[in-house]
Chain A
Amino acid sequence: DGGITQSPKYLFRKEGQNVTLSCEQNLNHDAMYWYRQDPGQGLRLIYYSQIVNDFQKGDIAEGYSVSREKKESFPLTVTSAQKNPTAFYLCASSSGGETQYFGPGTRLLVL
């Protein structure tokens, strides 16, 4: 997990609430990614960013938003439009197209 931090470790969301998951890296990587992990489904890409101030939708972007204002940071907001947000969220970073390295994850639960 070294070099990539995610916070909080657990997050609780109320109905209709937006919540933001933090991801920070000190690896000087240009690219950053957000994945969602559900049991038995592997990892699915939500959003990714290859450079500051630019990002692209992944396979399941609906109900999520991101920003990339700094190279080190790629926060993910889970909006109220995401009707099934309960999952384990993983952030990763890479130097270009090379190996992606992952953070420790944030588990999001709905109250």
Chain B
Amino acid sequence: AQSVAQPEDQVNVAEGNPLTVKCTYSVSGNPYLFWYVQYPNRGLQFLLKYITGDNLVKGSYGFEAEFNKSQTSFHLKKPSALVSDSALYFCAVRATGGGNKLTFGTGTQLKVEL
């Protein structure tokens, strides 16, 4: 079985400061890892994904994520947070060759304050 853990329900950060949203995963074999963002009453928007290759993945809106196989982590980062980044962030995983089924974490609410 595959699973994702997002250990923080909420992350607060001041605008201009770096942000990190944590994600750890468990999967058999090599993982495909994804980050999505959700604004209130909207669908999920794709931010970035790791399939293979470089462990540092760059995505939309200045976000990036680092794949760490030994720690089974895929933390989302941004060097300088904006108030408009405030939203709900989801990490998701599926196993290579595991069909199309994604398993999502429970989400982390990011709040960026002035």
- Distance to closest chain B CB from A22 (angstroms): 14
| Cβ A31 vs Cβ B100 within 8 A | yes
B106–A41 CB distance below 8 A: yes
Contacts of B106 in A (CB 8 A): 40-42
Give complex CA distance A61, B49 in Å: 27
In this assembly, does B34 line the interface, its C-beta being within 8 Å of a C-beta of chain A? yes
How distant is B100 from chain A, measured CB to nearest CB, in Å?
5
Q: How far is the CA of A43 from the CA of B99 in the complex (A)?
A: 18
Q: Assess whether B94 is interfacial by the CB under 8 Å rule.
A: yes
Q: Does B102 contact A (CB under 8 A)?
A: yes
Across the interface, B101 reaches (CB within 8 A) one of A40, A41, A45, A96, namely A45
Which chain B residues in 91-114 approach chain A with CB under 8 Å? Answer: 94, 99-102, 104-107
Interface string of B17-59 (1 = CB under 8 A from A): 0000000000000001010100001111110010000000000
Q: Tell me what chain A mostly uses at the interface: helix, strand, loop, or mixed.
A: strand
Name the residue of chain A whose CB is nearest to the CB of B106.
Answer: A42
Residues of B within 8 A of A88 (CB): 41
Chain B positions within 8 Å of A103 at CB level: 43
The smallest C-beta distance from A30 to any residue of chain B, in angstroms, reads: 9
Inter-chain contact B105/A97, CB cutoff 8 Å? no
A50 within 8 A of B: yes
A48 touches B101 (CB 8 A): yes
Task: List the interface of chain A (C-beta within 8 A of B).
Answer: 1, 4, 6, 31, 33, 40-45, 48, 50, 58, 88, 90, 92, 94, 96-97, 99-105, 107
On B, residues with C-beta under 8 Å from A are 9, 32, 34, 36, 41-46, 49, 90, 94, 99-102, 104-107
